[in-house]
Amino acid sequence: MTFEKHILCIGAGYVGGPTMAMIAFKCPQYKVTVVDINPERIAQWNSDTLPIYEPGLDEIVKARRGKNLFFSTEVEQRIQECEVIFVSVNTPTKTFGAGAGMAADLQYWDKTARQIRKCAQSNKIIVEKSTLPVKTAQAMKRILTCEDNGIRFDVLSNPEFLAEGTAIRDLEDPDRVLIGSTLTPNGIRARDVLVEIYANWVPRDRIVTSNIWSSELSKLVANAFLAQRISSINSISALCEKADADIEEVARAVGMDRRVGNRFLNASVGFGGSCFRKDILNLVYLCRYYDLKEVADYWEGVVRINDYQKERFILKMLDALFNTLADKKVCLFGFAFKADTGDTRESPAVFVASRLIEERATVVITDPKALKNAMKDLAGVAGDVSYVEDPYAASEGCSAIAVMTEWRIFSTLDYERIYRAMAKPAFIFDGRNILDHQRLFEIGFNVFPIGKPSLTHF
Ligand code: NAD
Ligand code: UGA
């Protein structure tokens, strides 16, 4: 079969895999290949057990794999045959040298750009899918074009806004697709190629084009705004606990103002995920680089409140359990950073588990999809930790349950049964406000929600 277009994606992770599966699903006329340097990951993409859990992903991968969707480790060969190359490699926070702990580590991007230059034998459109600091496209263009070999590289910015757990829905029906380009004739021609790809299923009025720096920056700012809403509501949750107000009532009243809106106002133990923290720190680093101290401090506050909220959660547990957790069994309901994913990157549960271990508690973790990742995350932590799939078995003999992830299953459990099997007095710390607190109190639990008065029998 001959295809209209050959599309490549370098990086087969949480973004590369699902986004390319969606393009292949919506555009059978294109051949879509996803490559990665990690052979194990590619083998999983080619197997019945995909490397990531995402509702709806299995179906679309199985529908297109082997037809117009391919996963491969042959990075160099594939670069040669594709005219549009998405780059979706990881851009974690730098852990060394200048900017350590703040700036984006661009080494994977840099290496990819050099590899593309080395292998390319014809003109290419390079699409920034990873989240990158503003002005990265300029650096990429310089790396790509430093050898005058007659090949033209057009660099576009096309940041991804999918959220894990709803990735397939987000990709199928996005609020917007953002495409940034240079405004030269070549830049606009490249931009139009990408617009045409998305226009196969995304309404034209939701495909937004902009200058390339606005596009790069919009991605960081979008994540910063979303995280800022969570930190705002979480900061007020602390005040609610002091003032006997109820954070859900406050959030409802505030969010009903259409200028504010009601989404992303759920108070929690803190936000997690691989991106919010890293992207805000990256934004803060950029502001400091440009000598915008006040702006940097403002956004850094979002991360500080998140750290405060996680620490507050632990201190509340310690206080409620009579100032010692040593040898007490604590069960974490959930380890994923949010429901409907197995991803545990930057999950508040990693922090809470580590702090519980520091306090010498015995930790039992239950999660429907994230136990494997939890084991990896805590592999280096010396302490008494166990992993149990069944929440009833996991909570048996525990003094406390801490809800870390808003998995639906946790709100449907038989808490009378759970209470009977726990050590007394029994405590529940609902880090997601998903349980029926009054009912739990009536069963006999001492209940500590976020941003609401606690319900205790003492
Ligand atoms: P990931 O770690 O899951 O995947 C990145 C993949 O790139 C890895 O499999 C890695 O092996 C591969 N890789 C690294 N260097 C390579 C190279 N030189 N050649 C080939 N493969 C290489 O990361 P992710 O979560 O998919 O995120 C990727 C980017 O997308 C990041 O910049 C992130 O900020 C951004 N993003 C992520 C999400 C999300 O929900 N995870 C959403 C929007 C944007
Ligand atoms: C987030 C953004 O929502 C995506 O648009 C973006 O593409 C992505 O980051 C990225 O760049 O990686 P994601 O981290 O997958 O997506 O999930 P979110 O739904 O944003 O949740 C992030 C964290 O905030 C989770 O820990 C979640 O539980 C928490 N959260 C979310 C709250 O505590 N309260 C809320 O009201 C909403």
Q: Is the pLDDT of residue 402 over 80?
A: yes
Catalytic (active-site) positions: 275
d(CA 159, CA 217): 10
Average pLDDT over residues 114-121: 94
Average pLDDT over residues 129-153: 92
Residue 162, ligand 1, Cβ within 6 A: yes
Q: Is the dihedral of CA 452, 366, 316, 233 positive or negative?
A: negative
CA of 275 to the centre of ligand 1 (A): 11
Show the tokens assigned to 275. Answer: 């991106």
Q: What distance lies between CA 429 and its chain's CA centroid? A: 24
CA of 110 to the centre of ligand 1 (A): 14
Q: State residue 330's pLDDT score.
A: 98
Mean residue pLDDT across the chain: 97
DSSP 346-369: T-HHHHHHHHHHHTT-EEEEE-SS
pLDDT in tens, 161-206: 999 999 999 999 999 999 999 999 999 999 999 999 999 999 999 9
CA of 87 to the centre of ligand 1 (A): 8
d(CA 336, CA 312): 20
Half-sphere exposure of 321 (CA within 13 A, CB side): 27
Average pLDDT over residues 413-424: 98
Q: Under 8 Å CB-to-CB from 282, ≥6 apart: which residues?
A: 93, 102, 103, 104, 131, 133, 220
Residue ID of nearest Cα to ligand 2 atom 6: 161
Residue 91, ligand 2, Cβ within 6 A: no
- pLDDT over 70 percentage in the chain: 100
- pLDDT over 90 percentage in the chain: 97
Q: Which of 132, 160, 164 to mutate to test the pocket of ligand 2 (most atoms within 8 A of CB)?
A: 164
Q: Is the pLDDT of residue 320 over 90?
A: yes
Neighbours of 148 (CB within 10 A): 6
Residue ID of nearest Cα to ligand 1 atom 27: 90
Q: Is the pLDDT of residue 284 over 80?
A: yes
Show the tokens assigned to 189. Answer: 């021609």
pLDDT in tens, 91-115: 999 999 999 999 999 999 999 999 9
Q: What distance lies between CA 105 and its chain's CA centroid? A: 17
Residue 18, ligand 1, Cβ within 6 A: no
Amino acid at 444: G
Q: State residue 392's pLDDT score.
A: 98
Residue ID of nearest Cα to ligand 2 atom 3: 163
Residue 89, ligand 1, Cβ within 6 A: yes
Q: Is the pLDDT of residue 382 over 90?
A: no
User: Sorting pLDDT into bands at 50, 70 and 90, what band is 253?
Assistant: very high
Residue ID of nearest Cα to ligand 2 atom 30: 271
Q: Is the pLDDT of residue 1 over 80?
A: no
Show the tokens assigned to 72. Answer: 């491969």
Q: Which of 90, 117, 118, 119 to mutate to test the pocket of ligand 1 (most atoms within 8 A of CB)?
A: 90
Amino acid at 434: I
DSSP-based three-state secondary structure for 5: strand
Q: Which residue(s) pair with 177 in the sheet?
A: 207
